Amino acid sequence: MMALYNGRKNNTFMNGLPEPMPEFLQARPPRYHHFVLLVWEERDAEGQHAAWRFSLQDSQKEERIGFKNLDELVAFLERWIQIPQEAESHSAEDKNKKTKGRLP
């Protein structure tokens, strides 16, 4: 027997059960990811500033990726944002098996 929606703000059916989520809300949840960012200054032999270096560590794995400059870091993040979540998880698992803990 199908319960009827009662129109209440709490979105419950007349039988007291919660209303099922609309299909468009059942899609995957918003994507988020934690990276630990490390920033350090490299100096030349005279102790003068030479460059800023960056690395990202994936908080879910022990993978760390190094970058020579800010442009490389930003380019990586822009590419990462474009990767679908499902593809990312599969390729990251494969890559993690091959390069665990190794900087490129």
Q: What is the per-residue pLDDT across 27-70, written as a single tens digit (0 to 9) for each?
A: 767 788 899 999 999 999 999 999 999 999 988 888 999 999 99
Single-letter code of the amino acid located at 29:
P
Strand partners, 36: 57
Instruction: State the burial class of residue 67 (Cβ atoms within 10 Å of its Cβ: 0-12, 13-18, 19+).
Output: buried
pLDDT level of residue 99 (50, 70, 90 thresholds): very low
The string of pLDDT tens digits covering residues 74-84 is 999 999 999 87
List of residues 6+ apart from 15 with CB closer than 8 A: 3
